[in-house]
Chain A
């Protein structure tokens, strides 16, 4: 993998990140939003693992953090889904634009 280098992975991760952000902005469905979050987290993870591969001091740290992120992402997905279900129960929709209770 040495001849690929770090940069392509970073670019890929950046693309995934941008896609995730685009998901946030464009999707009105709450689940879609959640998918965006997954994409963003994965982008970060990809960066971490690539760094573990290419930076000598991070061989183990990169992976460890990636694992932690995966775990937390799973937990976050669970909680987010729970929140959405609750929201759906209350509002009968998953349209996030309807979730404006925080409006000032």
Chain B
């Protein structure tokens, strides 16, 4: 057992444990913390795979951005009576069994698929430079470039952000106002 394997096992165990934590914890806040662990674990996986740029992006965007957003969301909405929002045992059983079934299938298929061996022993993947070049339409040695997806994603982001801003602007319905004040 080589060092990378041991390292991977540790990281995988952490990630798995965190993911289970996300699912099993009752409180949303705790879930968020567990999610933080899982995301970091995945980022480490990226590093292990040699995709340093992605790992960094994962850390920055997810851990720094998305998760914070979520915590904000939790804080804003976490003020009403919480007693009602409980998951029934049946749902636990159902969810658990469905998820494990799915897991079993996915694993089966993963293992059945042909397992390619890495081409080279170079442990790094193309880093920020080539990726950026690809995004900007500079073709690499095989002629692939991603200018169009990049543009699409950009526009998409713009639209989404506008939409988010529109949706999130304060607009209480009169009835809801009465309810919340009463």
Contacts and interface: CB of A to CB of B under 8 A. Distances in A.
B10 interface: no
A95 B81 CA distance: 11
A64 B131 contact: yes
Contacts of B117: 2, 5, 54
Contacts of A84: 73, 77
Interface residues of A, number: 79
Q: Is the interface of B mostly helix, strand, loop or mixed?
A: helix
Interface in A1-15: 1-12, 14-15
A10 B111 CA distance: 8
A2 B171 contact: no
B98 A85 contact: no
Interface string A49-66: 110111111011111101
Interface string A1-33: 111111111111011111101111111111110
A32 B123 CA distance: 36
Contacts of B121: 2
Contacts of B179: 92
Given A31-B28, A68-B149, A88 B76 contact: yes
B42 A53 contact: no
A12 B66 contact: no
Nearest to B67: A38
A39 B58 contact: no
A64 to B, nearest CB: 5
A1 B49 contact: yes
Contacts of B156: 72, 75
A76 B15 contact: no
A31 B180 CA distance: 21
A17 B176 CA distance: 37
B31 to A, nearest CB: 6
A29 B66 CA distance: 17
A67 interface: yes
Interface of A: 1-12, 14-19, 21-32, 34-36, 38-39, 42, 45-46, 49-50, 52-57, 59-64, 66-68, 70-79, 81-86, 88-95
14 contacts: A3-B4, A4-B4, A10-B111, A11-B107, A35-B32, A39-B19, A46-B46, A49-B125, A60-B126, A70-B54, A73-B66, A74-B65, A82-B164, A90-B172
Given A66-B54, A71-B157, A89-B171, 11 more contacts: A16-B19, A16-B38, A46-B42, A49-B46, A64-B131, A70-B57, A72-B153, A74-B61, A75-B160, A78-B164, A93-B84
